[in-house]
Structure 1
Amino acid sequence: MSGILDSVNQRTQLVGQNRLELLLFRLNGRQRFGINVFKVREVLQCPPLTSMPKLNALVRGVAHIRGQTISVIDLSMATGGKRIEDIKSAFIIIAEYNRSVQGFLVGSVERIINTNWDAIMPPPQGTGRASYLTAVTEVENELIEILDVEKILNEISPLNTDVSDEVASDIDVGESADKIIFIADDSSVARNQVKKALTALGLQIEMAKNGQEALDRLKEIAAETGDVTDKVGVLVSDIEMPEMDGYTLTAEIKNTPELQKLNVVLHTSLSGVFNQAMVQKVGADDFIAKFHPDELATAVQKWLKQQ
């Protein structure tokens, strides 16, 4: 087990080209889940948890780790399952999402697997936990479920999606006001957060659930006019998506003549270290950590004006 934990801690800086590394874990049952290693700061045996008044029922307590107080969320309870009872033998995955650090209580941690984004697929319809999944993949003939962590976090502590009055009053996209802002994100919560922030500014929105769906639709739009920027002003894309990630989507756009003028803003819940060299390599125009509506609105205005 110590080898697994050491490996996680050493590899959190790594971003692959259309490649994904998943840390596999279990909650209460046999089902295995995965979390992107790039989001993980460290994994450790669950330390003593301190109860605090008025905590959300899904938060089992707080842990004091390396001088920082971290809320610990029971992932089993958060996805509609039973609480993890044996905390002493459980583990905490310390991860960074949306500019904050959280601890996720899990029953056990297994190993890291390497796979490609095109092997990560949208979740099947009709499964009981489907509303908490962003993707699935298969490992050794077993389905691995990838949780929509942004949805879980938003249910516990909803993010403000309103653009401030000060920023809203300064937004002026001029002649580009009638152009579509295209959003690509596998999390329904994240898509709706972006949509709410930008539609409040009077902007038109179109959305896709992953990079492949976004690319296909952008090519359809381009086929109507010859250049996608005749109709689309800016693409706001997540990086981590099933079938095709945001890096690959950006590279495809910049290498396709009828799409390459489109400004791409990469928008990800990873809010710490990210691979700036990778962002530059694929030709993205901007990078914004989720989720700050004022920063998003300002960036969209900036790139609309440069169309």
Structure 2
Amino acid sequence: MSDLLKSIDARTKLAGTNKLEILLFTLGLDQRTNRRENFGINVFKVREVMRTPEITRAPDMPPAVEGMVSLRGHLVPVVDLAKYSGVKTDVKPEIMIVTEYNGHTQGFLVEGVDTILRLDWASMRVPPEMIMKEMGGLVTAVTEVNDKLVMMMDVEKVLAETSPRFEDEIQFNALKPAGVRGKTIFFADDSLIARKQISRTLDAMGINHHHAINGRRAWEELQKLATQAEAHGEPLSSRLDLILTDIEMPEMDGYMLTKMVKTDARFSGIPILMHSSLSGSSNQKLGQSVGVDGYVTKFEPQKLSEAISKMLIKE
């Protein structure tokens, strides 16, 4: 199974091409629907794939958290994705996908893994309302591969809802305006839980904000703002102070959005801060290659606040 991940170096060339690679996996035959759904996860978040090791049960954990495993001397929480997503199956998950994102390592129990596919973000669509309701907001994008529906799972949501620290109100209560009140930020993110955290952070800082649910819609809205500023004979930088963007988004990713903005003279003087759970140094270098002005990891309100303040004050 490690062969699936051998070509990781080649993936560093995907920045600015609006392409991604996903690892396909299944959770088992759902007894309620008699369907076996196909899910995907960005390979940049996958560290390895292995047979499910012995799991040590632990008390006081969320229902979907099976326990902990020891990997190279580190304790890693293990989430049964079938339980978490509400898939009722008799299949015992035999495969564990070890993920690493946002500075955290998690094990995801699944029925099986299939292959790695290279896709264009333009082929990834915002999920229909029916799927959103059925999956409880767990799916951020959908596409068809060989006549099969593949759903991108919002693993950021999984992490947020299975790790107590993400519900810590202290993270938000400690935020301060830091002299940047009255500024305006436009942000793009496909994750509902991420959008909520960003909004809470910006509200606490006294910053005006607008948002879009993916890169393509963000680009459309940003072009409208630029056109409006032109019509009034004003530079857009007098109306917009910062663009904050996720990386992984259906239809257009954050790398491509950054590339589009940076090649449009109307956006001169407006910095771009990349905000992603892909916290590895390679991803930061990819962001730099398309022109981002800063990089901050997700689900760290204090760090996000500090990065925004530093960038706005630097203006």
| TM-score with structure 2 setting the length | 0.89
- Cα deviation for residue 276 of structure 1 reads 3.7
Question: Is residue 2:125 matched to residue 1:117?
Answer: no
Superposition pairs of residues 226-245 of structure 1, within 5 angstroms: 226=230, 227-245=235-253
Q: Which residue matches 1:145?
A: 151
Question: Is residue 2:97 matched to residue 1:93?
Answer: yes
Question: Is residue 2:289 matched to residue 1:281?
Answer: yes
Q: Deviations over 1:38-85 (max 9, x none)?
A: 110000010111111112110112111222111110111111222664
- Cα deviation for residue 9 of structure 1 reads 5.0
- Secondary structure of 1:197's partner? helix
Question: Is residue 2:222 matched to residue 1:218?
Answer: yes
> Where do 5+ consecutive residues of structure 1 fail to align?
none
Contact 1:79 1:152 in 2 (8 A): no
- Cα deviation for residue 164 of structure 1 reads 5.8
Contact 1:40 1:95 in 2 (8 A): yes
What amino acid is aligned across from residue 67 of structure 1 in structure 2?
Answer: G
Instruction: Report the Cα distance in structure 2 between the residues aligned to 1:275 and 1:103, rounded to whole angstroms.
Output: 21
Q: Which residue matches 2:278?
A: 270
% identical equivalent positions: 38
- Secondary structure of 1:258's partner? helix
Instruction: Report the Cα distance in structure 2 between the residues aligned to 1:82 and 1:14, rounded to whole angstroms.
Output: 35
The answer to which of 218-227 and 183-192 deviates more is 218-227
What amino acid is aligned across from residue 21 of structure 1 in structure 2?
Answer: E
Cα RMSD after superposing both structures: 1.9
Contact 1:237 1:267 in 2 (8 A): yes
Match of residue 179, structure 2, among 172, 196, 201: 172
- Cα deviation for residue 11 of structure 1 reads 1.8
Match of residue 296, structure 1, among 304, 307, 310: 304
- Secondary structure of 2:281's partner? coil
Q: Which residue matches 2:67?
A: 61
> Where do 5+ consecutive residues of structure 2 fail to align?
30-35
Instruction: Report the Cα distance in structure 2 between the residues aligned to 1:163 and 1:135, rounded to whole angstroms.
Output: 29
The answer to which of 38-47 and 276-285 deviates more is 276-285
- Secondary structure of 2:217's partner? helix
Contact 1:93 1:106 in 2 (8 A): yes
Q: Which residue matches 1:132?
A: 138
Contact 1:236 1:267 in 2 (8 A): yes
Rate the CA distance shift 1:243–1:107 in 2: closer, same or farther, 3 A: same
Rate the CA distance shift 1:129–1:163 in 2: closer, same or farther, 3 A: closer
Contact 1:71 1:102 in 2 (8 A): yes
Rate the CA distance shift 1:297–1:32 in 2: closer, same or farther, 3 A: same
Contact 1:247 1:279 in 2 (8 A): yes
Contact 2:24 2:38 in 1 (8 A): yes
Q: Deviations over 1:224-251 (max 9, x none)?
A: 1123222111111101111000010001
- Cα deviation for residue 114 of structure 1 reads 0.7
Q: Deviations over 1:130-165 (max 9, x none)?
A: 511000111111110011111222222251463463
Q: Deviations over 1:244-273 (max 9, x none)?
A: 000100010010111232110001011233
Rate the CA distance shift 1:49–1:104 in 2: closer, same or farther, 3 A: same
